Amino acid sequence: MKLRMQGNSLRLRLTRSEVENLRDKGEVSETVKFRSGAAFIYRLQTHSGGDAVRADLAYGVISISVPTTTAERFAVSEEVGIYGYDGELRISVEKDFRCLTRPSEEQEADAYPNPAEQCSA
């Protein structure tokens, strides 16, 4: 799972197996460990009740939460992303597509096929 932060927005990009884990287990997370022993964690999880996308930061952990039904639909459909706002914070959760400009040996095998690949075939 990749995290991009820019301005007042968070964007997560998930591989196929991460999307499946979100659907099946209700959570995916990543940990960045620093030499000092500190860790930065970012987590995506599902929630029931309501249809809002939510985010929070507590104790060095960014937690993003999407409705369970939205995550299930996202996992089995051609939908590219789940988008929403939590207050002023823009949140994007997207499928991670293969890069078209990176050499094929550097590609992530678990990334989704890039829709533009089908146009050039």
Q: What pLDDT digit, counting tens, does each position of 20-75 carry? A: 999 999 999 999 999 999 999 999 999 998 889 999 999 989 999 999 999 999 99
Ramachandran angles phi, psi of 112, nearest 5°: -75, 145
Determine if the pTM surpasses 0.95. no
What's the token pair of residue 81?
A: 């992303």
Reported as a single tens digit per residue, the pLDDT across 67-95 is 999 999 999 998 989 999 999 999 999 99
CATH assignment at residue 27: 3.30.1360
User: C-alpha angle with apex 54: 45 to 12, nearest 5 degrees?
Assistant: 60
Number of domains in the chain: 1
Q: What is the number of other CB atoms lying within 10 angstroms of the CB of residue 111?
A: 16
Q: Which two tokens stand for residue 63?
A: 């937690």
Domain that holds residue 94: 2-120
